[in-house]
Amino acid sequence: MSSSSTRPAPAGTDADRARGPGVTARHERGTTAGLLVKIALMALVDAFGVYVVLAAWAEESFGILWAMVALLVAANYVYFSRRTLPMKYVLPGLAFLLVYQIYVVAYTGFVAFTNYGDGHNSTKEHAIDALLIQNERRVEGTAGVPLAVVADDGGTLGFAVVVDDAVRVGTAERPLEEVPDAVVDGRVIADVPGWTVLSRQEVLARQQEVTRLRVPVSDDAEAGSIRTQDARTGYVYRSALVYDADADTMTDQVTGTVYRPNDRGQFEAEDGTTLGVGWRVPVGAENFVTAFGDARYAQPFLRILAWTFAFALLSVVTTFLLGLFLAMVFNDPRVRGRRVYRTLLILPYAIPGFLAALLWSGLLNRRFGFVNEVLLGGAEIGWLTDPWLAKLSVLGVNLWLGFPYMFLITTGALQAIPSDLLEAAKVDGAGRFRTWRSVVMPLLLVATAPLLISSFAFNFNNFTLIYMLTGGGPRFADASVPLGHTDILISMVYSVSGVDGSAPKNYGLASALSIVIFLIVATVSAIAFRQTRKLEEMS
């Protein structure tokens, strides 16, 4: 009998109808249910995608907008087409790879070649608006208007003012608009439909927000804005600067100074003075030149680079050796209670890394830590304040955190070695050490080498441990930037970026350093993986 005669017919064909109407009905119900589930899931995906598209449109992030549109089109085509079965499984991974890897790396590379940082945070249009706002002054001779502080349903603050016997309401994002049916009792605005008039206590609770709030009078930025100091009376403020869009100049109305845009993303006068707010512009390889040529960063960079390599290598070696030793001990069947011991040994691995680092930071405190106060009888040893002791403390804490992982993977690798290989080595006359060196260790390294490489990459960027345990300290005494002896490259990037407020923000320089870290880790990993292939050939 030929194979074609025994092949089952597709559901819904003559074979199904021959079996009876029940089979066909169940198949159709299953197909309809699956289609409905697919439509529902894709509706959720499309709704989220449309939300991202609208948000990107509002923020003028057109790169994100078109990327999301492309992803939505691809997703709908793939999941509603019968000819793209393999892509149904691959597309989610590709989408996450695009969003969380390729986009992040590409954007970091873009920022590395710009002057993105304090004073250059956004586009030229945003910089112009910020300059006009920051240079606002109260218009002399204008009378104050009755004012009330209001909030919408989302808690956003706004001002309600009485202008020409009409109540107008606005927020920092929305200019003043007239609100009908508002209630005014004398000079007091008592009720505004759609808004909540804040009481005196509520205003005092948000006093800083109220005094910083400015509400545009109209869509024209040069018309000024409403501000208040007492939450009862508002005054019109206008900018001392005037922007001429045709000439692309900014003029100070008080001094008459004219500022023109330069190639550094700032408005500059003829005498070289510049206005405080600028915009992002390309600066070429300037950030890389600064990282390696500016003494403020170059000298700490070399020391931190050396320590980063030492920290990553020593962390891998120490955790691997301790984990391997314990794995060999508790892999011996003669040891009783192995399961209990193994459970206890992996407890440090079960504690979140940031929490464990904070715990050890308290234990190693110079004056009040458990180690000095109890174990060392009240000694005041600077475990985290002395440069060399701080480095040893970092390595010790990382050893405590990392050896359970190495213990687990080496235990699994040892148990995976075929017992007949060990028996064959014994028959050939090999002793324990010879068997371990020539049989066990090569097979163990082949199995664990990729994990050791990933562990090196992880420790090379182990920001959590450094930040939570020492904060990068103790600080370099001869450095003009906030960097310290236990900083590694990734924590240096964090400090240079200025996110923590310890230095002016410089995202361009931080991105350039991030690219350098990426290249170093990629190079080391590529070399290590090549050596791993040699081990596989030898085994």
Distance (Å, rounded) from C-alpha 275 to C-alpha 200? 38
| Cα–Cα distance, 98 to 94 (Å, whole number) | 6
Neighbours of 28 (CB within 10 A): 13
* Cα distance between residue 420 and residue 241, in whole Å: 86
What pLDDT is stored for residue 527 in this prediction?
Answer: 85
Residue 114 CA to residue 248 CA, distance in Å, equals 22
CATH class of the structural domain 293-538: mainly alpha
pLDDT for res 439: 83
Q: Looking at the chain, which residues constitute the CATH 1.10.3720.10 domain(s)? A: 293-538
Residues 6+ apart with CB under 8 A from 341: 330, 335
- The predicted pLDDT at position 446 comes to 84
Instruction: Please name the residue that has the structure tokens 């003829």.
Output: 270
Q: What's the CA gap between 478 and 300, in Å, rounded?
A: 9
Give the pLDDT confidence score for residue 29 in this predicted structure: 65
Could you state, in chain order, the average pLDDT of each consecutive group of 10 residues for the chain (539 residues)? 45 49 60 83 92 87 87 91 87 89 90 93 88 83 87 91 90 91 88 92 90 87 84 89 91 90 93 92 92 87 93 95 91 82 83 90 92 90 94 95 92 86 80 82 85 91 94 86 91 89 87 91 84 62
> Which residue has 């509520």 as its token pair?
202
Work out the burial of residue 242: count CB atoms within 10 Å of its CB; fewer than 13 is exposed, 13-18 middle, 19 or more buried: middle
CA-closest candidate to residue 343, choices 407, 414, 413, 410: 407
Question: What does the pLDDT look like over 262-302, one tens digit per residue?
Answer: 999 999 999 999 998 999 999 999 999 998 888 888 889 98
Q: Residue 432's pLDDT is what?
A: 79
Phi and psi at 217, nearest 5°, equal -70, -40
Distance CA 404, CA 453 (A): 17
Pairing of strands 233-239, 225-228: antiparallel
Phi then psi for residue 363, to 5 deg, are -65, -30
Q: State the pLDDT at residue 529.
A: 78
From its phi and psi, is residue 439 left (phi > 0), alpha (psi between -120 and 50) or beta? alpha
Token code pair at residue 37:
């589930």
